[in-house]
Amino acid sequence: MTPASFHPGPGLKAGFDPAGSPAGGDRRQWLTALILPRPVIIVTACLLAITAHRVESIGVQPITFQPLYMTRVWGGRTLEEVYARDLPDSQPYGESWEITDRSNEQSVVTAGEMAGLTLHDLWTQRREEIFGEGLQGERFPLLIKILDARDDLSIQVHPPAKVAPRLGGEPKTEMWYIAEALPGARLYLGLRNGVTREQFETALTEGTVDQVVHAVEPRTGQSIFIPSGRLHSIGAGFLIYEIQQNSDTTYRVFDWNRVGLDGNPRDLHIPESLDCIDFHDLEPGMDTPDGSTLASCDHFTVDQLDLPPGAVVGNPDPDRFSIVTVVKGGLRDRDGRTFAAGNFLLLPRGAEQLEATSATSLLQTTIPR
């Protein structure tokens, strides 16, 4: 249907007097002009009304998902202690996947008209309506987690885009926000100044990799961008919000000479790791925010916002979605639902604003245009 189909015929002009209509054949032509456009207009008006209602009904409500909990040898029980999460059993849980669209791990909507649908359903069936225009890809492009590190994670690396296809993996760039850091807790980032590839390989054979990697002691509220290729590890004593590309490729290069939950040493990926590590990445430090922006790359932008009680937050681009992570304080939607620290919300395109119920700090993740 062309745009001209929406234009009313001569008989629908404002102020037109049917009593002055022509007679005979001219009158039949006038009646045709008057009657034929009306079904088109009525159907069009109905479709517009339905579309407007659907967009409004989606925009009012933030979308929440059921977390997926992952056991890890380095995990613990902090998710239930800090966020009152109902963990499945007594095992150590190191990861809560809050927003995920993986083939075997799917976020499922918990409430509202879309309850029971997966994130992949929303992405493939209602992408433009919920997420906005111009977004490409078979799957939702981000994976967002909470990490509970009660022991050291392996020293590891994620493959850069130029290397990943050759290794059969997926590229992965990420950022960490330190939600909680115990005194003395360390992150391992890059190599110490002066360490060469040859020295690193020697440390691998001697089991002393921890002596050649760079360590920092961050504070709660700091953040760090982890580009693919950066050697890294999280030490014991952290709760971390991790925002990353939708990838689950990790190459372990050193695992502290320990065994996994099954009593056997976990697999290492030495050749793959050596192909990926940026050996020029020496002693990086924690990031300094650029205004409210903590991290920005081709894959995501993460901002931190601090709101006084009664202030509101919505999508920075009303035609695009965002993901809100409550760091502290609380938010309330128009229907009275409240969201506390550790909650993750997808604000759809055209979403209503959320109100801070107290002094609130949050992360807001968007995808750059």
Query: With helix as H, strand as E and coil as C, how does the chain read?
Result: CCHHHHCCCHHHCCCCCHHHCCCHHHHHHHHHHHHCHHHHHHHHHHHHHHHHHHHHHHHHCCECECCEEEEEEEEECHHHHHHCCCCCCCCCEEEEEEECECCCCECEECCCCCCCCEHHHHHHHCHHHHCECCCCCCCCCEEEEEEEECCCCCEEECCCCCCHHHHCCCCCCEEEEEEEECCCCCEEEEECCCCCHHHHHHHHHHCCHHHCEEEECCCCCCEEEECCCCCEEECCCEEEEEEEECCCCCEEEECCCCECCCCCECCCCHHHHHHHCCCCCECCCCCCCECCEEEECCCCEEEEEEECCCCEECCCCCCECEEEEEEECEEECCCCCEEECCCEEEECCCCCCEEECCCEEEEEEECCC
Cβ burial, residue 340 (10 Å; 0-12/13-18/19+): middle
Q: What's the rounded Cα separation, in Å, for the pair 357 and 341? A: 12
Nearest partner of 159 among 6, 269, 12, 36, judged by Cα:
269
- Report which residue type is found at 37: P
Torsion of CA 97, 114, 84, 179, to 10 degrees: 50
Q: What's the rounded Cα separation, in Å, for the pair 269 and 254? A: 9
Which residues participate in catalysis according to the annotation? 252
- Report which residue type is found at 80: E
